[in-house]
Amino acid sequence: MRFGVNIVKKALREQGVHVFEQSLSMLVPDSSQKALAVRIHSGPDRSPEGFSIQKNGDFVTLTGFGPIGAMYGLFDIAETIRLYGWGHVGATTQEPFHKKRGIKFNLPFQPYADGEIYDKNMVTVRDPRFWREYIEFLAQNRYNCLSLWCENPFEYMVDIPQYPDASAISTEERREYRKLFTKVFAYARALGIDVYIITWNLRISSGIARGLGLPEEMSLYNHHSRSIGMRQHSGVIRDYFKEAVKTLMQTYPDLTGIGTSNSEELTGTPEEREQWVA
């Protein structure tokens, strides 16, 4: 909610309004003075992302049905102030129509090609400022789900005890990525955004293959059907993914979940593919 308060304060200051904060218990309602009271009051029939705005003269009361609802209400007030001024802030009750409002974001790890655009994207996703601004942008546009897609994020994001050599990324570089994404996931959660990691099931890099004691042929792309079958029926690869998923969830407590495509490189019937994923 603090982020929403700061957004409102900025909008008011842009209008030349002097702003100060005080405890709600010390606030005396006065319809003749511009004031905003913010409180949280949940209910069994209310969405925690919803809010209600009531107005008596220039005194505005915002009730969030949860912390995120209060933040969304503050966004709504700030937008009205910027467009029309304080006098146009009006009574309203809002709750989201869609419970999940998400973005698909492709991480540039293990790209299918190379070149300047891929190099620039790698620099971008290593920048904490980019993630902070991006998450704030998503929150202000009322997105509550961010899915990060990557062929195989594990060699960048976790140290797998059972397979310490299954990565082409150095231990120090993985440590830096771990610090980065720990902060990214925590900030996203604070702004009401669930984060999911989505993988392309069987994909492994040549570094992972070498670390597992397997031929690099097994890391070839999906048009090499032989490498697909070798990966799908390899016991060590199956166990690697099992341990990787477990380690990922243990490493990032603010990560909401993990998913995978069920048809990217798996062979067999739909039931057989589902069984491999399970």
pLDDT digit string (tens) for 68-77? 999 999 999 9
pLDDT band at 41 (very low <50, low <70, confident <90, very high): very high
pLDDT tens track for 194-241 = 999 999 878 888 899 999 998 887 777 655 555 556 777 788 988 999
**215: Cβ contacts below 8 Å, ≥ 6 apart:** 209
Query: Is 2-94 CATH 3.10.20.30?
Result: no
**54: Cβ contacts below 8 Å, ≥ 6 apart:** 60, 61, 63, 91
pLDDT band at 143 (very low <50, low <70, confident <90, very high): very high
pLDDT band at 14 (very low <50, low <70, confident <90, very high): very high
Question: Domain locations in the chain?
Answer: 2-94, 102-277
Pull the structure tokens for residue 124: 């971008």
Distance (Å, whole) CA 33 – CA 11: 17
Pull the structure tokens for residue 237: 């690869």
pLDDT band at 136 (very low <50, low <70, confident <90, very high): very high
Query: Is-contact 174 159, C-beta < 8 A?
Result: yes
- Among 255, 259, 252, 251, which residue's Cα sits nearest to residue 161? 251
Pull the structure tokens for residue 160: 């797998």
pTM (global) more than 0.85:
yes
* β-strand partners of 102: 145
Model pLDDT, residue 274: 80
Q: Please give the share of the chain, as a percent, with pLDDT higher than 70.
A: 94
Model pLDDT, residue 227: 55
Is the pLDDT at 265 greater than 80? The verdict is no
Which of 51-60, 157-166, 170-179, 230-239 has the least mean pLDDT?
Answer: 230-239
Model pLDDT, residue 29: 73
Which of 74-78, 250-254, 259-263 has the least mean pLDDT?
Answer: 259-263
Query: Is-contact 113 166, C-beta < 8 A?
Result: no
Q: Cα 5 from chain centroid? A: 21
What is the mean predicted confidence (pLDDT) over 182-186?
98
Model pLDDT, residue 225: 54
Is the pLDDT at 99 greater than 60? The verdict is yes
